[in-house]
Structure 1
Amino acid sequence: MKLLLQWFLYAVALLAVAAIYPGVTIHGFGSALIAALVIGLLNAVLRPVLVVLTLPVTLLTLGLFLFVVNALMFWIAANVLADIQVSGFGAAFLGSLIYSALGLVIDSALRRLFP
């Protein structure tokens, strides 16, 4: 139940990103559900590999390079899916920042609902 609710809320967060920032476009809630799933899978599979490969740069920038890794995951998901457009890497960067901030709120709320 919690996983389905989390997936639904992350899709809503993607729609909110598209509403807040004009550099990200999503065509409907179904596309947002698929995008949330793809971003989650990319974060589970590809992100750990990229974090390890970019560890020297991440340490040199005191962890700030992880924002670039998050933007890359967001950008890859947009390039894989046809119903989501991101106008460039800068838009992916800002979109991923907004999406991450909304994700923090979602995770915090779900921790309170499902202890």
Structure 2
Amino acid sequence: MNFLLRLLVTALAAMLTAYVLPGVRIKDFITALVLALVLAILNMLVKPVLVILTLPATILTLGLFLLVINAIIILLASKLVSGFKVDGFFWALIFSLVLTIVSGIMHSLAGTGADD
């Protein structure tokens, strides 16, 4: 149940973030739900592999390369989800930052934190 609530909150945060950023478009709320599910799967399966493969770059940049990995995950999700478009790497990077902040605030308000 907590997973479904987290998906709904993330989808709503994605819709809000796409509304604010002109370089990101989400067709409707169903697309945002699919995007939230795809992002959850990519963060579970692909992100750990990318983090391990780029560990030297991550250490060298004191962790800032993780922002690049997040942007790559967003770009990959835009290729997989029809109705979700990102205009380029810069917009994917900004979208990942804003989505993290907005969804973090919304998760804390909804009471769907990691400790639940």
TM-score range, shorter-chain basis? over 0.9
TM-score by length of 2: 0.92
Q: Structure 1: state its 5+ residue gaps.
A: none
Q: CA RMSD in A?
A: 1.5
TM-score by length of 1: 0.92
Corresponding position of 1:84: 84
Give the number of aligned pairs. Answer: 114
8 Å CA contact retained: 2:6, 2:112: no
Matched, 1:20 2:20: yes
Runs (4 or more) in structure 1 with deviation over 4 Å come to none
In structure 2, C-alpha distance between the alignment counterparts of 1:38 and 1:81, rounded to whole Å: 8
8 Å CA contact retained: 1:6, 1:106: no
Corresponding position of 2:33: 33
Q: Structure 2: state its 5+ residue gaps.
A: none
Instruction: Give the aligned residue type for 2:98.
Output: I
Identity of aligned residues (%): 39
